[in-house]
């Protein structure tokens, strides 16, 4: 019997979605549905300071509005990362038991950067902070002065290769290119890299489709999943939409889903997305379901898509 294909939507409710998020969601949906697979909706609301209830509501509504459905997940709280702390704590302990975790007393700015998804261009290469080599006494003194550490994972000096379904072979030496990374912040919040890997593993996700800005993270996530005893999913990254040379951000008002919903029907927006990424020859209105039969990654462009 062949394995059930399981994919996921994994948005972070730190803003309204924009056209680029919707394109990645549409392609994720098509990729899974065209294979007869199951779709999970996971709410990546790890960071309490950035996740707003209004965005959480809007994310799910926008997906329904566009016609992208899911089989399990939100609003079941078991699929909200903010409610899965015990699961991440267990994985943390497993990594600790392997001697892979150490406390890091570096600055708050670094900790914040590490806890959100490190999209390309935002990532900070970690040249290896000296916390990894601190003596017990130095740690004791820092603790005594009131400093609370974040927790980092030792990245091995190993080249990990993922065979991306759209961008092909992508390799990265985890220690040299990226380095150690935070898996738990000083305030106790587990970081994106740990949570996403643990969730993909435990939820049985075997196909991950998301924006190309996260391709860089794929080898590290695959390694983390293997280290925790799981099998990494197949990764397939989607092209990004860019405007004025930069990738879209959730702060971009006019291309937010909220604004698009005022001026376009769901099928008009789907048609536009399908045309922009190369899936359709015209931008005629179409439903996601109608795109299923002709869905083929070969048709989809790899370069960033400039919005004019
Ligand atoms: N939650 C992440 C984001 O919205 C995406 C995580 C993923 O797809 O791996 O940027």
pTM of the model: 0.92
Q: Is 25 in the pocket of ligand 1 (CB under 6 A)?
A: no
- Does ligand 1 lie within 6 Å of residue 47's CB atom? no
Residue with CA closest to ligand 1 atom 10: 117
Q: Return the pLDDT at 141.
A: 92
CB-CB contact of 68 with 33 (8 Å): no
Q: How far is the CA of 10 from the centre of ligand 1 (A)?
A: 5
12 CB near ligand 1 (under 6 Å): yes
User: Does 126 sit in the ligand 1 pocket, CB within 6 Å?
Assistant: no
Q: Whose C-alpha lies nearest to ligand 1, atom 6?
A: 10
pLDDT of residue 124: 47
Q: What is the pLDDT of residue 211?
A: 97
Cβ partners under 8 Å of residue 265, min gap 6: 285
Choose which residue among 6, 8, 9, 12 to substitute to test ligand 1 binding: the one with the highest number of ligand atoms within 8 A of its C-beta: 12
For residue 10 and ligand 1, the question of a CB distance below 6 A is answered with yes
Q: Is residue 40 within 6 Å of ligand 1 at its C-beta? A: no
Token pair in block for residue 281: 């020859």
Q: Which of 162, 192, 197, 219 to mutate to test the pocket of ligand 1 (most atoms within 8 A of CB)?
A: 192
Is 59 near ligand 1, meaning CB less than 6 Å away?
Answer: no
**Both structure tokens of 47:** 């960071």
The sign of the CA dihedral 77, 79, 80, 81 is positive
- Quick check: CB of 209 below 6 Å from ligand 1? no
User: 197 in helix, strand or coil?
Assistant: helix
Q: Report CA(183)–ligand 1 centroid distance (Å).
A: 15
Per-residue pLDDT of the chain (308 residues; tens, 9 = 90+): 578 999 999 999 999 999 999 999 999 999 999 999 999 999 999 998 999 999 999 999 999 999 999 999 999 999 999 999 999 999 999 999 999 999 999 876 655 555 455 565 555 445 557 888 889 999 999 899 998 999 999 999 999 999 999 999 999 999 988 889 899 999 999 999 999 999 999 999 999 999 999 999 999 999 999 999 999 999 999 999 998 767 776 656 668 888 899 999 999 999 999 999 999 999 999 999 999 999 999 999 999 999 87
Indicate whether residue 214 lines ligand 1 (CB < 6 A): yes
Can you give the pLDDT at residue 115? 47
What is d(CA 227, CA 207) in angstroms, rounded to the nearest whole number?
19
**pLDDT score of 118:** 57
205 lines ligand 1 (CB under 6 A): no
Question: Cβ(26)–Cβ(273) under 8 Å?
Answer: yes
Angstrom distance (rounded) from CA 52 to CA 7: 25
Q: Is the dihedral of CA 93, 97, 99, 104 positive or negative?
A: positive
Distance CA 85, CA 293 (A): 40
> 238: Cβ below 6 Å to ligand 1?
no
CB of residue 45 inside a 6 A radius of ligand 1: no
């Amino acid at each position: 019997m062949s394995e059930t294909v399981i994919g996921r939507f994994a948005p972070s409710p730190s803003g309204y979605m924009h056209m680029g998020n919707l394109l990645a969601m549409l392609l994720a949906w098509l990729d899974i549905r065209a294979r007869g697979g199951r779709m999970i909706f996971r709410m990546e609301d790890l960071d309490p300071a950035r996740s707003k209830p209004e965005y959480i509501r809007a994310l799910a509504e926008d997906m329904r509005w566009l016609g992208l459905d899911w089989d399990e997940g939100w609003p079941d709280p078991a699929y909200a990362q903010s409610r899965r702390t015990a699961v991440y704590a267990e994985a943390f302990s497993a990594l600790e038991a392997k001697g892979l975790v150490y406390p890091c007393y570096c600055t708050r700015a670094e900790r914040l950067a590490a806890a959100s998804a490190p999209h390309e261009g935002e990532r900070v290469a970690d040249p290896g902070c000296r916390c990894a080599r601190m003596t017990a006494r130095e740690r004791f003194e820092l603790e005594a002065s009131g400093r609370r550490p974040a927790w980092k994972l030792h990245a091995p000096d190993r080249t990990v290769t993922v065979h991306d379904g759209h961008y092909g072979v992508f390799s990265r030496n985890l220690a040299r290119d990226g380095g150690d990374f935070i898996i738990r912040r000083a305030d106790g919040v587990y970081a994106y890299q740990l949570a996403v890997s643990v969730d993909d593993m435990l939820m049985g996700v075997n196909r991950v489709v998301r924006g190309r800005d996260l391709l860089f993270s794929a080898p590290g996530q695959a390694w983390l999943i293997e280290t925790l005893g799981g099998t990494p999913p197949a990764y397939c990254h989607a092209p990004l939409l860019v405007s004025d040379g930069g990738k879209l951000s959730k702060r971009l008002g006019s291309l937010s889903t909220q604004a698009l919903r005022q001026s376009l029907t769901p099928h008009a927006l789907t048609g536009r997305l399908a045309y922009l990424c190369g899936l359709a020859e015209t931008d005629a209105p179409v439903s996601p379901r109608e795109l299923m039969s002709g869905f083929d990654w070969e048709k989809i462009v790899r370069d960033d898509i400039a919005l004019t």
